[in-house]
Amino acid sequence: QVQLVESGGGLVQPGETLRLSCATSGLTLDDYAVGWFRQVPGKERDMSDGISCISNSAGAVPWSDESMKGRFTISTDNAKNTVYLDITNAKLEDTAVYYCAADVVGCHVLVAAAWEYWGRGTQVTVSS
The more confidently predicted of residues 67 and 28 is 28
**If DSSP codes are grouped into helix, strand and coil, which group holds residue 78?**
helix
For the chain, percent of residues with pLDDT exceeding 90: 77
* Four-point Cα dihedral 36, 56, 3, 123, nearest 10: -20
Instruction: Give CA 121 to chain center in angstroms.
Output: 9
Query: 106: phi > 0 → left, psi -120 to 50 → alpha, else beta; which?
Result: left
49 within 8 A of 67, measured Cβ to Cβ: no
Q: pLDDT (tens digit, 9 = 90+) per residue, 25-56?
A: 999 999 999 999 999 989 999 989 899 999 99
Distances in whole angstroms, Cα of residue 47 to Cα of each of 32, 54, 59, 67, 95: 21, 20, 24, 19, 16
Pairwise pLDDT comparison (1 vs 105), residue with the higher score: 1
How many other C-beta atoms are found inside a 10 Å radius of the C-beta of residue 38?
Answer: 25
